[in-house]
């Protein structure tokens, strides 16, 4: 059985590293694996569409797996990847899925779609109809990187990890004026109220916030004719994500904890921190290296309050502890205070007090990291996650 993994371009190499891990995990299962690197082909001046057809003609796959891309692909005859190969196609969407409107609308119903937050399954059904896609599945992030060597004790942990606190991610903050600032008054009111509602609670899916406000104004959200109004949910998602991330980073700065920062657009913001080292933007492979040298890794979950981000699992595999906002999924698979430290958005001050205490307590970080690593090795590697891909494909 041959599995084809398709790679594309990726900021910081993230999804490319995911694809490599997926391919290696399938190979360890005994499958024949091909990797089609469309980004490398295009960068070399080649034709991606021609490469897709040539690969299928040379050796058709029994399963095609891609991350974010080519779900909507059609050849000159209008055939999808599944039709070209005569095999199931599974696409994992790692962003807020409704931001990929054009891709979703061009993706065949038979394509299996994986999302990083289970509430996004309901969002797809609400916008596109319950029967639009045959197979929708929750696919939480697996860890990337290789397991770090075990530290003998808390002293060895601290000695091997000179970075007390690691933040990996670009600087983001909300727009000075929201994108809807110039919209007509009624529309502006809907967006303002939806954003206020989403920020007033610990977490609410962005489409749910928008639908709640629209329904309160008398719109029948079940009417397919009103689908267009729901497609604005990614705007609410982005504003919530940027607002909360900005508030978190300002709070970390005020806390005074020593933090190693990697990511883009930080040059004009470092003045906020009393004790920071700035490395600049890094590829994900370098981020994994830094996690192996860190005691505590910070995470904000990308507004996936029901799902996952790769940082906690990758940090755990690298032997570091994680400090993250709560998500429903983390509440199921981690134990707060034992395998992860979690904070709540509605009590950020208490979260920062906890962060300060952890930063000054390497032994506590060591104990948490040890538990999290064992849990991740058992349940949250690519070797474990490929079963979800195979199940979604019907294999």
Can you tell me the mean pLDDT for 109-131? 97
Q: Do domains 2-142+384-393 and 154-173+239-379 have the same CATH topology?
A: yes
Taken in order 51, 45, 102, 35, is the CA torsion positive or negative? Answer: positive
Specify the DSSP element, H or E, that contains 137: strand 135-138
Domain ranges of the chain: 2-142+384-393, 154-173+239-379, 185-234
CATH class of 2-142+384-393: alpha beta
Instruction: Identify the pLDDT of residue 224.
Output: 86
Distances (CA, A) of 272 to 240, 257, 268, 294: 22, 12, 9, 22
Q: For the residues 334-358, what does the mean pLDDT come to? A: 98
Give 232-254 pLDDT, tens digit per residue.
Answer: 999 999 999 999 999 999 999 99
Position 164 pLDDT exceeds 90: yes
Tens digit of pLDDT for each residue in 56-87?
999 999 999 999 999 999 999 999 999 999 99
Contacts of 248 (CB under 8 A, 6+ apart): 300, 325, 348
Residue 175 confidence class, pLDDT cut points 50, 70, 90: confident
pLDDT tens, residue by residue, 214-236: 999 998 988 888 888 999 999 99
- Residue 7 β-bridge partners: 37
| Cα dist from 180 to 176, 183, 237, whole Å | 12, 5, 13
- CATH code, 154-173+239-379: 3.40.50.2000
**Residue 19 · residue 33 · CB < 8 Å:** no
pTM: 0.97
Of the pLDDT bands very low, low, confident and very high (cuts 50, 70, 90), residue 371 is: very high
Which residue, among 307, 301, 308, 303, has the nearest Cα to 324 in the 3D structure? 301
* Digit-coded pLDDT (tens) for 304-323: 999 999 999 999 999 999 99
DSSP code string of 340-391? BEEE-GGGHHHHHHHHHHHHT-HHHHHHHHHHHHHHHHHHSSHHHHHHHHHH
């Amino acid at each position: 059985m041959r599995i084809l993994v398709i790679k594309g371009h990726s900021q910081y190499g993230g999804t490319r590293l995911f694809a490599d891990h997926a391919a290696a995990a399938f190979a360890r299962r005994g499958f024949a694996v091909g990797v089609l690197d469309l980004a490398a082909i295009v960068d070399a001046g080649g034709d991606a569409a021609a490469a897709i057809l040539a690969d299928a003609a040379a050796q058709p796959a029994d399963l095609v797996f891609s991350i974010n891309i080519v779900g909507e692909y059609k050849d000159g005859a209008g055939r999808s990847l599944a039709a070209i190969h005569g095999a199931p196609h599974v696409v994992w969407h790692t962003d807020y899925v409704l931001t990929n409107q054009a891709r979703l609308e061009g993706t065949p119903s038979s394509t299996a779609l994986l999302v990083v937050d289970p509430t996004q399954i309901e969002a797809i059904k609400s916008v596109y109809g319950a029967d639009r896609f045959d197979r929708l599945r929750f696919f939480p992030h697996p860890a990337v990187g290789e397991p770090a060597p075990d530290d003998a004790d808390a002293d060895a942990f601290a000695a091997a990890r000179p970075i007390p606190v690691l933040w990996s991610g670009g600087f983001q903050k909300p727009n000075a004026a929201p994108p809807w600032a110039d919209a007509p008054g009624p529309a502006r009111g809907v967006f303002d109220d939806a954003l206020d509602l989403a920020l007033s609670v610990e977490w609410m899916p962005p489409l749910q916030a928008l639908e709640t406000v629209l329904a309160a104004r008398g719109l029948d959200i079940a009417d397919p004719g009103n689908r267009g109004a729901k497609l604005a949910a990614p705007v609410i998602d982005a504003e919530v994500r940027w607002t909360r991330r900005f508030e978190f980073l300002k709070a970390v700065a005020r806390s005074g904890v020593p933090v190693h920062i990697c990511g883009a657009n930080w040059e004009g913001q470092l003045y906020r921190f009393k004790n920071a080292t700035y490395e600049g933007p890094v590829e994900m492979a370098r981020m994994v290296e830094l996690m192996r040298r860190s005691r505590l890794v910070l995470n904000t979950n990308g507004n996936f309050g029901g799902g996952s981000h790769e940082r906690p699992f990758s940090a755990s595999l690298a032997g570091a502890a994680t400090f993250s906002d709560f998500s429903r999924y983390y509440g199921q698979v981690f134990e707060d205070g034992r395998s992860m430290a979690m904070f709540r958005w509605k009590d950020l001050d208490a979260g920062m007090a906890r962060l300060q205490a952890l930063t000054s307590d390497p032994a506590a970080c060591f104990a948490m990291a040890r538990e999290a690593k064992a849990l991740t090795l058992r349940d949250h590697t690519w070797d474990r996650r490929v079963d979800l891909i195979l199940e979604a494909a019907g294999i």
